[in-house]
């Protein structure tokens, strides 16, 4: 059996950012990992993270000046969503979640996830996490979550934006594309995958995009300023359907592990206008996730 690789650990020394987010600001893409003895990792996982438990995430949010969060259950936990459900239950309504499910889940179990604060499901299309899912299962589950008012989160590589453009146009629920579509900065703003992403965001009112993952698309490395024009271009097209997130603790980063204080300091570069900052950090995530705390 092939050894399962370990991820790089997150930077343990989070900087206090110069920028202070508005009240109720939300990290709309982050993960809780383990601890593995309480929340075991899936045996068929593609990577093993270092434990990044809720207690550490709470400390991180205090340092960054963030109050709300969308906890995305990462693939290394498989379809066991307990790690985020337990975190949401302790948050006083300040956290929501995105679950991993398969076709064996019952409607009653979906309802229970909804009661626990889940508002979407996620599919990985990226090659290093297994590639394209079974599309029959994908469409079946998307149709089943529609009555709950949920959305589907899509983790694509840039090339997938070319392959699945037609699929996106037929989705019956809101869909949210992670990490600016993982388009490489080195290929420029005129690259075809990014133009497709912009056009999809412009033309489909159920399309949302996260301006996260600067550390994943950068060509220059920290402090990742070369990703700013891509975020600005997306914001210009549909400011009411953009979310921002850290992606802490940054699983599967291969080269530049970011300091999350630097990522927060990208916010005023991406959107200097305080009203736009509030829209993206507070209003948009609240509209999609309905926080109560």
Q: Which residues are catalytic?
A: 247
d(CA 195, CA 124): 21
What H or E segment, with its residue span, contains residue 140? helix 135-145
Reading the block at residue 243, the tokens are 């979310």
Q: DSSP label at 52? A: B
Q: CA 24, 25, 26, 32 torsion: positive or negative?
A: negative
What is the C-alpha separation between 93 and 117, in angstroms, rounded? 8
**Pair of tokens at residue 250:** 């940054």
Beta-ladder partners of 151: 120
Only one residue has tokens 């991993």, namely 100
What is the four-CA torsion angle of 76, 126, 73, 16, rounded to 10 degrees?
Answer: 100
């Amino acid at each position: 059996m092939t050894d399962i690789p370990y991820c790089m650990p997150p930077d343990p020394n989070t900087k206090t950012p110069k920028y202070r987010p508005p009240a109720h600001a939300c990290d709309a893409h982050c993960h809780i990992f383990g601890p593995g003895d309480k929340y075991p990792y899936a045996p068929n996982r593609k990577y093993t993270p270092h434990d990044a438990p809720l207690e550490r995430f709470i400390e991180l949010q205090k340092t960054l000046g963030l109050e709300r969060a969308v906890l995305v259950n990462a693939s290394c936990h498989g379809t066991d969503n307990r790690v985020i459900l337990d975190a949401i239950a302790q948050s006083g309504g300040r956290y929501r979640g995105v679950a991993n499910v398969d076709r064996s889940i019952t409607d009653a179990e979906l309802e229970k996830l909804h009661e626990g604060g889940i508002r979407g499901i996620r599919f990985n299309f990226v090659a290093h996490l297994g590639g394209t899912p079974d599309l029959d299962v994908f469409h079946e589950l998307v149709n089943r979550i529609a009555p709950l008012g949920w959305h589907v989160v899509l983790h694509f590589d840039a090339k997938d934006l070319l392959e699945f453009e037609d699929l996106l146009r037929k989705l019956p629920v809101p869909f949210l594309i992670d990490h600016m579509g993982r388009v490489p900065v080195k290929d420029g703003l005129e690259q075809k995958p990014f133009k497709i992403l912009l056009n999809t965001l412009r033309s489909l009112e159920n399309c949302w995009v996260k301006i996260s993952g600067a550390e994943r698309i950068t060509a220059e490395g920290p402090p990742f300023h070369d990703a700013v024009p891509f975020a600005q271009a997306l914001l210009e097209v549909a400011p009411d359907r953009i979310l921002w997130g850290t992606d802490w603790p940054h699983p599967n980063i291969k080269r530049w592990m970011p300091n999350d204080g630097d990522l927060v300091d990208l916010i005023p570069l991406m959107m200097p206008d305080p009203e736009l900052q509030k829209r993206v950090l507070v209003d948009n995530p609240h509209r999609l996730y309905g926080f109560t705390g």
